[in-house]
Amino acid sequence: MMSAAQTLVSRLEALQCHFTWDLDLSRSLLLRCRDKLLDIGTENGNKWLGHIYNLRGFFQYKLGSNEDAQSFFNKATEAFSQIKNTDEGPWLVVNYGNLAWLHHHLGDQAESEAYLSKVDALNKKYPSPSQEELHPEIYAENAYTLMTFNGDMNLVADYFQRAIEMQPDMVEWNSWHLLALTYASKHSGTGLEDDIFKKMRISQEQDPENLNLAAHYLCQRAQKGESIEDEARELATKVLRSPVGSYSGLKPLLWVYRKYISDDEAIDLAEEALKNHPDERYLKRRAALCYQKRVFFSDSPTTTSMLDRAVSLHQEVIALYPDSSLKRKLHLAWIYSLSHDGKAKAEQIYQELLKSDLELEDKQMLYNYYAKYFRFQKQDGRMSIRYHMKAANIPQQSFFRTNSIKVLENIRDKGRDSMCGEIRRFLADLQEP
């Protein structure tokens, strides 16, 4: 017979919430996602505010701050109450599940039991429209969570689809379902299917205030060959007037500018946004990225003043994102390496990072960047190969490991490098993650 404690744990494990969704995240990913949530903004009218606070609470728990976790879970309860204009509903199932788990970890079993009872009452009062499925509110929150982690976008789209089939009148679910399909298509390489493109147009008409969706729709139209320059500039005017945050549409709109108008106009747009809100770190981050893309990939000459601005913005952004700045430090090192008097500074950044305590995936990123630095900036092919090997030799799946393996395979297949034999043996012995 199960003890009371075993029964409690069994009931907790049966909950649908962040504590049971197998979100086993590295510390560096948690910190990056926490920064991502902070940049969304918490202005009135954000339909995802309850979900955002739930996630922030879970992040704080995972990072060891139970007091902050409880504060955010309570904020989530309040946010749902304000957004839904009622104190009760199925959208609280995940929130109460999180609070039940948190109080269990805090050792307050009576409070944990109280929240379990609240979840039971909600499940009885608001059953799922389909007996074979979870409640649509749960699917939607799980999908939103995975989307924040840049998880499996096909799974995200599936969860949103299930929610929509049971509750089709939720405009924001339709919009985010289509965004998930858009992100999934980027990774598939097949592009957006025509029926999804049509649904995106309809969703954009139904959700006209969603400038983020509008910017993504503009991206898709441009990729299909439509002329969108005038509409992009019109949308930019709306984005500049909207509250600052990562849902404002600025990020995808800047991508449209860089890809289909010009890098310089993208920089002008980012600088205008920053001029309107000079202290917003998210806008500094977007501006820094525009300069980085201009400096790294444009065929147009780079001026000293442009390099200086790129450096100063990256330095500011690194200071403003102290817990998630590895990639920006690597970008800063590359920018430094492009100027004659900055090469020593670039090398100093790499050496400091090589000595730092990094998680495995972050080490792969560092080794991959450093390998490219040797190849393109120092013309040292041997050392480049060595660091690609270091990245590949860490048995953890990541973009940077895959990229380094591809580079090594290309060198091996061309057969011209003196290290081809060593590369061939290395790849043959490589451990799978």
pLDDT in tens, the chain (433 residues): 456 777 899 999 999 999 999 998 899 999 999 999 999 987 666 899 999 999 999 999 999 999 999 999 999 999 999 999 999 999 999 999 999 999 999 999 999 999 999 999 999 999 999 989 999 999 999 999 999 988 899 999 999 999 999 999 999 999 999 999 988 887 665 567 888 889 899 998 999 999 999 999 999 999 889 999 999 999 999 999 999 999 999 999 999 999 999 999 999 999 999 999 999 999 999 999 999 999 999 888 899 999 999 999 999 999 999 999 999 999 999 999 998 889 999 999 999 999 999 999 999 999 999 999 999 999 999 999 999 999 999 999 999 999 999 999 999 999 999 999 999 999 999 977 7
CB contact set of 413 (below 8 Å; sequence gap of 6+): none
Q: What is the pLDDT of residues 345-357, one digit of tens each?
A: 999 999 999 999 9
Whole-prediction pTM:
0.93
Q: What is the CA radius of gyration of the chain?
A: 24
Q: Residue written as tokens 């950044």?
A: 349
Distances from the Cα of 286 to the Cα of 172, 270, 273, 389, angstroms: 25, 7, 10, 32
pLDDT at 150: 85
* Domain segments of the chain as ranges: 380-433
Element spanning 403, H or E: helix 399-414
pLDDT at 191: 60
Helices (H) and strands (E) in the chain, counts: 22, 0
Helices (H), 152-262: 153-166, 171-188, 194-206, 211-223, 229-241, 250-256
pLDDT at 216: 94
Distances from the Cα of 412 to the Cα of 65, 157, 399, 407, 428, angstroms: 49, 39, 20, 9, 11
| Amino acid (1-letter code) at residue 418 | S
Contact by Cβ (8 Å): 401, 391: yes
Q: What is the pLDDT of residues 74-85, one digit of tens each?
A: 999 999 999 999
CB contact set of 259 (below 8 Å; sequence gap of 6+): 219, 222
Contact by Cβ (8 Å): 43, 245: yes
Q: What does the alpha-carbon distance between residue 12 and residue 115 come to, in Å, rounded to a whole number?
A: 10
